[in-house]
Amino acid sequence: MFDIIRKSPANWQVPPNLLDYDALCRSFDWASARRAMAGLPGGGLNIAHEAVSRHVVEGRGGRIALRHLGRDGAVSEVSFAMLDEAASRFANVLESLGVARGEAVFSLSGRLPAFYSAAVGTLKRGAVFCPLFSAFGPEPIRARLEIGRGVCLVTTRMLFQCKVAPILDALPGLRVVLLIDGEAGDERGQVRALPRLMDAAAARYSAAATSPEDHALMHFTSGTTGKPKGAVLVHDAVVAQSATARYALDLHEGDIFWCTADPGWVTGMSYGVIAPLVCGVTSIVDEMEFDAERWYAIIENHKVAVWYTAPTAIRMLMKVGAEVAGKHDLRSLRFLASVGEPLNPEAVVWSQRTFGRPFHDNWWQTETGGIMIANFAALPVKPGSMGRPLPGIEAAIVERTPRGIRVVEQPDVDGELALKAGWPSMFRGYLGEDERYRKCFADGWYLTGDLARRDRDGYYWFVGRSDDVIKTAGHLVGPFEVESALMEHPAVAEAAVIGKPDEVAGNTIKAFVALKAGHEASPALERDLMAHARRRLGPAVAPREIAFRDNLPKTRSGKIMRRLLRARELGLPEGDISTLESDEKK
């Protein structure tokens, strides 16, 4: 249905890092990738050293690490040397306040330069960093601090007042709160003004002698399928995050790179903080939220070369139309990538038409700590496919059996996506849920909970989360296939499908659809959409019901919450909605 997008070397401004996929897969091993790290002078591995201090030691301290675009329109730049110094001061602050190695430091802030020095400084100290999304309400913040045993929280005065002050008494383990913009008058009990402490702290700090297996980060999952889980990553994750950023995001030293994900999610930390710093690129840090016009202006004004975003944002850009993109000079863009949700083929083709290059979908999870399956700069893109496993990653389609798992060797079979355990950024536990962690593994494989299929060329195609897959009249239907078919209709901006229990069919399929501007919901449009779906999918798989919605419920990281649509449809309890985007606008 959709043509393969082939790449021509004649169009490469810069040759991609990964040119010969098969050869690299054969020669790649993690031990060599680990040797490419600087390592600590006295042995050991620390993410902060790889990401920042190394550049200073090797004479690149003057290069720009972050270009911060503030709410007030101000642009400020932070060099690697400046970030290294601020991180050192922060590490000294932690040490002086008695925050020990291995203890948990949380952050709750917008995308501010101080967030970056806190993140890198915490890792330098050898403490464990856990970023939270600043839009969370008090209860999700409390629950996460409790589960992750946070002893220190870095936040702003405003966020503290609205969200932390009310829960402080319920968090006896939280020994220190550092206010990024705090002043002497704010100090009370465990609440301290960070600027004063930073000024008083020494500007040098030798990174803690952490080993690759020491805990470094905690990230809570998006909560798309249920209560968010806390995943633990170790310092060794940097090996995978930097290698995958070079191969799957094609980062080259000196690039201007924009990862639009909030650091409250794993993408914003792995590919918004750690990997770009290790790769020596300049990251755009935009404090504001999505706005199509402004986003295009950022790409144009700051000459963004590599852009990493999510399907929700891409669909919103499609909704406002290609004409808005056409008003900007976007020729600086060299590589476009997307993650977080299935990327509908329609969006890949739109991108090729609008930007002259496709969005490259890639797949991973909080638990994998880094990109596992991707479309690469030099390789053909099959719209709708997530691409191929990264070098060093062994992926398979498996079937669960009573005694373990069976690897499905033949192509084009739907099954659970599994990864051979042992890559460096693999999570090392779920906070407080050991049994659940153990159950994710069988026969040496990590079972992802996502269903996919591999084609004859080794490309993986997302079918759906195992929780979202619908059994109807003897067929197993992945929501992605149905949603993508609906998206091909010119009136449809977004679609989500669920199964509704039915005595005869087991389940029937119901679709929820949001329309593009200029289209009105009507019985005629409903009939037209039904007919379109039946033509594309056949009567067994096409939705039996279609409901129009202005917006679909999403997590704050932009994922459609099908479980919520289903619960509401069936009158079931809504479950944990701590990550639900409150206004459901995005």
Interface residues toward ligand ATP, by CB under 6 A = 221-226, 228-229, 339-342, 361-363, 365-366, 386, 448, 450, 462, 465, 557, 559
Query: Rounded to the nearest whole angstrom, what is the least distance from the CB of residue 140 to Mg ion in the complex?
Result: 17
Query: Rounded to the nearest whole angstrom, what is the least distance from the CB of residue 348 to ligand ATP in the complex?
Result: 11
CB 306 within 8 A of CB 334: yes
Structure token digits, residue 47: 């993410």
Structure token digits, residue 574: 């809504």
Instruction: List the x/- string, 426-455, binding to Mg ion by CB under 5 A.
Output: ------------------------------
Closest of 453, 509, 448, 503 to residue 479, by C-alpha = 509
Query: Rounded to the nearest whole angstrom, what is the least distance from the CB of residue 430 to Mg ion in the complex?
Result: 11
CA geometry: angle 497, 458, 414, nearest 5 deg: 35
Which residue reads 């009939």 in tokens?
527
Query: Rounded to the nearest whole angstrom, what is the least distance from the CB of residue 209 to ligand ATP in the complex?
Result: 31
Instruction: List the x/- string, 466-485, binding to Mg ion by CB under 5 A.
Output: --------------------
Q: Among residues 220 and 308, whose Cβ is nearest to Mg ion?
A: 220
Query: Rounded to the nearest whole angstrom, what is the least distance from the CB of residue 290 to Mg ion in the complex?
Result: 23
Burial class (CB in 10 A: 0-12, 13-18, 19+), 187: middle
- DSSP one-letter code for 188: B
Q: What beta strand segments (E) does 369-491 contain?
A: 373-374, 388-389, 395-401, 404-408, 415-420, 441-442, 445-454, 460-465, 470-472, 475-477
* DSSP calls for 112-164: -HHHHHHHHHHHHHT-EEEEE-TT--HHHHHHHHHHTTEEEEEE-HHHIIIII
> Which partner, ligand ATP, Mg ion, none, binds residue 95 by CB below 5 to 8 Å per kind?
none
> Which partner, Mg ion, ligand ATP, none, binds residue 386 by CB below 5 to 8 Å per kind?
ligand ATP
Q: Among residues 121 and 387, whose Cβ is nearest to ligand ATP?
A: 387
> Which partner, ligand ATP, Mg ion, none, binds residue 559 by CB below 5 to 8 Å per kind?
ligand ATP
Q: Among residues 121 and 370, whose Cβ is nearest to ligand ATP?
A: 370
Query: Rounded to the nearest whole angstrom, what is the least distance from the CB of residue 559 to ligand ATP in the complex?
Result: 5
Query: Rounded to the nearest whole angstrom, what is the least distance from the CB of residue 228 to Mg ion in the complex?
Result: 9
Query: 84-102: buried (b, 16+ CB within 10 Å) or exposed (e) per residue?
Result: bbbbbbbbbbbbeeebeee
Which residue reads 């972050």 in tokens?
66
Helices first, then strands: H and E counts in the chain = 20, 27
Q: Among residues 126 and 340, whose Cβ is nearest to ligand ATP?
A: 340
Q: Among residues 441 and 548, whose Cβ is nearest to ligand ATP?
A: 441
Query: Rounded to the nearest whole angstrom, what is the least distance from the CB of residue 128 to ligand ATP in the complex?
Result: 18
Q: Among residues 221 and 472, whose Cβ is nearest to Mg ion?
A: 221
> Which partner, Mg ion, ligand ATP, none, binds residue 542 by CB below 5 to 8 Å per kind?
none
475 beta partners: 472
Q: What beta strand segments (E) does 272-403 contain?
A: 282-286, 306-309, 335-338, 359-363, 373-374, 388-389, 395-401
Closest of 105, 115, 108, 123 to residue 175, by C-alpha = 105
Those residues whose C-beta lies under 8 Å from the C-beta of residue 396, and which sit 6 or more positions away, are 407, 408, 417, 418, 419, 420, 445, 454
Q: Among residues 84 and 367, whose Cβ is nearest to ligand ATP?
A: 367
> Which partner, Mg ion, ligand ATP, none, binds residue 361 by CB below 5 to 8 Å per kind?
ligand ATP
Query: Rounded to the nearest whole angstrom, what is the least distance from the CB of residue 387 to Mg ion in the complex?
Result: 19
Q: What are phi and psi of 22, to 5 degrees?
A: -65, -40
Closest of 317, 273, 276 to residue 295, by C-alpha = 317
Ramachandran quadrant class, 575 (left: phi over 0; alpha: psi -120 to 50; beta: rest) = left
> Which partner, ligand ATP, Mg ion, none, binds residue 88 by CB below 5 to 8 Å per kind?
none
Q: Among residues 442 and 521, whose Cβ is nearest to ligand ATP?
A: 442
> Which partner, ligand ATP, Mg ion, none, binds residue 223 by CB below 5 to 8 Å per kind?
ligand ATP
Q: Among residues 89 and 388, whose Cβ is nearest to ligand ATP?
A: 388
> Which partner, Mg ion, ligand ATP, none, binds residue 339 by CB below 5 to 8 Å per kind?
ligand ATP
Q: Among residues 346 and 361, whose Cβ is nearest to ligand ATP?
A: 361
> Which partner, ligand ATP, Mg ion, none, binds residue 556 by CB below 5 to 8 Å per kind?
none
Instruction: List the x/- string, 200-239, binding to Mg ion by CB under 5 A.
Output: ---------------------x------------------
Report d(CA 107, CA 552) in Å as an integer: 29
Structure token digits, residue 62: 């003057």
Number of residues binding to Mg ion, judged by CB under 5 A: 1
Q: Which residues bind Mg ion (CB under 5 A)?
A: 221
